Amino acid sequence: MATKRTADNGGEYVEIRVPGNQQSVASTSNGRFFIRVSDETQPLRGDDLTRLMAERGSYNREKERATVEETFARLVDLASSLDAEQRRAVEKGLSENELALFDLLSKDDIAETERERLKQASRDLLAKLRELLATMEQWTRNAQTQAEIESFILDQLYVTLPRPPFSEEETHRAAARVYEFVYQRSATGSFFAAA
């Protein structure tokens, strides 16, 4: 909770109290970021981290009271949206990485039965990728292993994505999105962070 206060010297400041059961963000010495909600810690996904850094940068740069209050309100909204993402993962019965894959594969115009197949495809793809990547040390630095992973993802999606509604072109685009996600998470060491 934020409260406007007046110091003994007449200066005004904003006192921010964060109860222990709220969420907080922390980083490790190797550059990984985590969000803590209650007693649970989850890695931050790329988009969430980008939004958080943009908001924090604005918060630290701005000096005017109105701007600080507006930035603080946006930070509160961001915290709420992160909670919503975590709730969404639980509601769908998916881990953070499975939810990310599901989002990368999902389309607006699919039936509930196909959505369930996409959830299962996300779980299966993540498990198979983790198994394959566990044997490939620093695969992101080798063009041959990069091509192998890209091909593996495309092959898996050809088998698991429901047809229709997914066309061949949509499958290729989805595979490219998944590959980029896996590559980025692997390059930062966060792909294996959450089960």
DSSP state of 161: S
pTM of the model: 0.55
pLDDT of 195 higher than 50? no
**For the chain, how long is the longest CA-to-CA vector?**
70
pLDDT tens track for 51-110: 666 665 555 554 566 676 777 777 777 766 666 666 676 667 787 788 888 888 887 778
Mean pLDDT of the region 11-23: 64
Mean pLDDT of the region 162-167: 83
Q: Which residues are CB-neighbours of 114 under 8 A, at least 6 positions away?
A: 162, 165
Please state, in angstroms and rounded to a whole number, the distance separating the CA atoms of residues 72 and 53: 13
Q: DSSP characters for 13-70?
A: EEEE---TTSEEEEE-TTS-EEEEETTEEEEPPHHHHHHHHHHHHHHHH--SHHHHHH
pLDDT, residue 45, reads: 66
Rg (CA), the chain: 21
